[in-house]
Chain A
Amino acid sequence: MTRSDVQLMLDVKAGDDASFDLLLQKYRTPLVNFLYRMVRDTATAEDLAQEVFLRVYRARKQYSPSAKFTTWLFRIATNLALNSVRDNRYRQMQVSLDLPADEDVAPIQIPAREMRIDEHMVERDRAQMIRRAVAALPEKQRVAVLLHKYEEMDYGEIAKILDCSESALKSLLFRAYETLRVQLAPLVAQPVVHRAGEGRPT
C-alpha cells in the first residue's frame, strides 16, 4: 500500500530517511520545473530546489500535518523563487539602469505575423515564446498559473500558498490567462501539428 505524503513526512520525522528519498523522487522534477519556470535559469532552479528539500529536511522534527504536504512544499518554493527573482532584478538594475525596471511588466517582443503563422516554426521556438509569456506575467499571476496549469493544484491549495482568498485567486487566474491569450494569440490561432506517434495528451 502506498503511503500518503503526510505519512511519508511523519516517517521522516520519526527518523526514516528512506521516506525522505521517496518524497525526493516524487517531487524532484515538479519542483525543479516550477522553479525553472519562475527563475528561467537551470542552475538557479536546481539550487533553489535543493534549498527547498533541505529546509523540509531541517524542519522534519517540527513537522505537523496541518496542511497538505504539497502546500507546504510549494509555499517554501514560491517564497524562495520570488526572493530570487527580486534579488536578481535588483542586481540587474545595479548593472545597468537602461534595463527595464520591472521585468514582469516588460512587453514581449512577438514576432511578425508572417513568422508566427509559419507552419515550419519549430517547437523549440514556440516553447521559448510560451516561457517568455509566462515569465512576463506579474509574480502572483505567474505562480497561480504554474500551480494551476502544471501542478494541477486545487484552488484552496493555491490560495493558501499565495495567501489570498479563493475568490481573489479566481480573478487572478482569469487576468493571467487573459493576458496569455492575448500574448500567445498567434500560437493559439495556429496549434502545433504533431507528427504521427508524437501526439501530446490534452
Chain B
Amino acid sequence: MKCEDVSKELIAYLDRRASSAERTMVEGHLAKCAACRSRAEDFRKLWNVLDEVPVHEPSFGFDARLRQRIAAEPRPRWFTWLVPQPRLALSMALLVALSIWMARLPKDQPASFATAPSEEEQFQMIDHLGVLENLDVLTKSDVLSELPPPTQPEQAPAQDEAAPKGDGG
C-alpha cells in the first residue's frame, strides 16, 4: 500500500473512528513507513496545539439581545394554520375576488351595459322619448307589411343587372 492510499484513512485512524479493517490497513502501513509514522505523530501533537486556543465566551448581553430580537418578530396569526403555503393563499384570494366581481355583473345584459349612462346620454334619451314610445306602434303598422319582401342574397346580382335595362326602355 502506498502513502497516498493510507493518507485518507489516517485521520479516522488517529481519532479512533476507523473501522477495524481500516485500522489494520493503516497499522500495517505505519509499521513499514517511517515518514507516515512521523506524520501521524505530528498530527497527534498538532491536535494538542489546536487545543491551546482559548474558548471565546459570548458577551454578557448576548441572550438579552436575542430575546429582544425574537420579541420584535411578528407573531403568527390565528388563521395561518389554514393556509400552509403563501402561494396557495394568494391564489385563493384572487379566486374569491374574481368570483365576487363576476357575481355582481348583471346576468341578462352584456358587460358594456353594466355601466350607468352619463348625464348627457340621459338627456338625449329624454329628447327621443316620443319616438321610443311610438316604436311599438310603428312595428305594428300596416305600412311595414306593404314593404317588398327581403331579397335572397344569391339572387341579388341578377336583379341588379336587369334593373338598368328596364329604366332605359
Show the binding face of A for B, using Cβ within 8 Å: 24, 28-29, 32-33, 36-37, 42, 45-46, 49-50, 53-54, 57-58, 61, 123, 126-127, 130-131, 134, 145, 148-150, 154-155, 167, 170-171, 173-174, 177-178, 180-181, 184, 187-188, 191-192, 200-202
Contact = CB atoms under 8 A, between A and B. Distances in A.
Contacts of A57: 70, 73
Given A54-B66, A131-B53, A202-B48, 12 more contacts: A28-B63, A29-B57, A29-B58, A37-B53, A46-B59, A50-B65, A54-B69, A127-B52, A130-B52, A170-B9, A181-B46, A191-B48
Interface of B: 7-12, 15, 17, 39, 42-43, 45-59, 62-63, 65-66, 69-70, 73, 76
Contacts of A54: 66, 69-70, 73
Q: Is the interface of A mostly helix, strand, loop or mixed?
A: helix
29 contacts: A28-B58, A29-B57, A32-B57, A32-B62, A46-B59, A46-B62, A49-B58, A50-B62, A54-B66, A54-B69, A57-B70, A127-B52, A134-B50, A149-B47, A150-B50, A154-B17, A167-B8, A170-B8, A170-B11, A178-B39, A180-B46, A181-B39, A181-B43, A181-B46, A187-B49, A188-B42, A191-B45, A192-B52, A200-B48
Contacts of A155: 12, 17
Contacts of B62: 28, 32, 46, 49-50
Q: Is the interface of B mostly helix, strand, loop or mixed?
A: helix
Contacts of A28: 58, 62-63
A29 B60 CA distance: 12
Contacts of B7: 171, 174
